[in-house]
């Protein structure tokens, strides 16, 4: 299990893998520390779950022949670790992307991203597949739906459409398959045949679904 950040939607699933499920948990030292000091994650028993600290830019063989490498992307601290004012777009390793490679094939997984910086562009360029943050279709979607008071940007997510959209920001970077992941339940691209879905597909993007398998 590679934990890309400490937010609730990225770490709660670990609790479902308690109590005697052997696994290796890879994360930055910062994320491991935050989980380590939170007592409920102690149900992942030390004798069953090996914690492996990975550092930005380090190439780790996670499975035989499969390498992972994490890199910082613009983001923010997890919601439950926010204190006072929050800086959005920091590239300090609290939000990361992952490059997964087998032989010469490379997929890039970025579940949260506040901006496509030059370093993000460099990571994505030439990948065989890009799985990218598709949380919201429009930045104010949750406010419009009456289910929240935050914009996507306040949560550290670029919108798929509109000014400063991820589709536009990523349009001129060469990649193989492009797939939106990490979709909020307000996102209209989840509805097959919706205008927003068709518009997204017309720009060359796929929409991820539960149980999706990717063969490269």
**39 part of the interface to a copy of itself, by CB under 8 A:** yes
Task: Give CA–CA dist 138/125, Å, rounded.
Answer: 25
CA distances (Å), 176 to each of 127, 149, 172, 173, 191, in order? 6, 36, 12, 10, 24
Is the C-alpha dihedral spanning 187, 119, 102, 32 positive or negative? negative
**144 part of the interface to a copy of itself, by CB under 8 A:** no
**145 part of the interface to a copy of itself, by CB under 8 A:** no
**79 part of the interface to a copy of itself, by CB under 8 A:** yes
Read off the DSSP letter of residue 164.
T
The smaller minimum CB distance to a copy of itself, of residues 12 and 29, is found at 12
**29 part of the interface to a copy of itself, by CB under 8 A:** no
Q: Indicate which single residue of 18, 67, 154, 203 sits in contact with a copy of itself (rule: CB under 8 A).
A: 18
**122 part of the interface to a copy of itself, by CB under 8 A:** no
**Closest listed residue to residue 131, CA positions, set 103, 99, 163:** 99
Read off the DSSP letter of residue 183.
-
Binding residues for a copy of itself, per CB under 8 A? 8, 11-12, 15-16, 18-20, 38-40, 42-43, 79-81, 147-149
């Amino acid at each position: 299990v590679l934990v890309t950040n400490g937010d609730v939607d990225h770490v709660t699933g670990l609790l479902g893998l308690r109590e005697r499920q052997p696994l290796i948990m890879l994360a930055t030292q910062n994320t491991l520390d935050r989980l380590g000091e939170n007592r409920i994650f102690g149900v992942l028993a030390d004798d069953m779950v090996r914690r492996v600290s990975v550092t930005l830019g380090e190439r780790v063989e996670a499975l035989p022949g499969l390498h992972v490498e994490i890199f910082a992307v613009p983001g923010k601290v997890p919601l439950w670790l926010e204190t006072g004012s929050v800086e959005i777009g920091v590239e300090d390793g609290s939000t990361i992307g992952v490059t997964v490679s087998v032989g010469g094939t490379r997929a890039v997984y970025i579940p949260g991203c506040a901006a496509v910086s030059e370093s993000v562009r460099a990571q994505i360029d030439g990948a065989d597949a890009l799985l990218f943050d598709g949380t919201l279709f429009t930045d104010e979607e949750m406010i419009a739906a009456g289910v929240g008071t935050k914009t996507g940007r306040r949560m550290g997510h670029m919108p798929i459409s509109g000014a400063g959209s991820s589709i536009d920001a990523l349009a001129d970077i060469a990649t193989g398959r492009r797939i939106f992941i990490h979709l909020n339940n307000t996102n209209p691209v989840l509805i097959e045949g919706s205008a927003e879905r068709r518009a997204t597909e017309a720009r060359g993007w796929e929409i991820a679904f539960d149980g999706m398998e990717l063969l490269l």
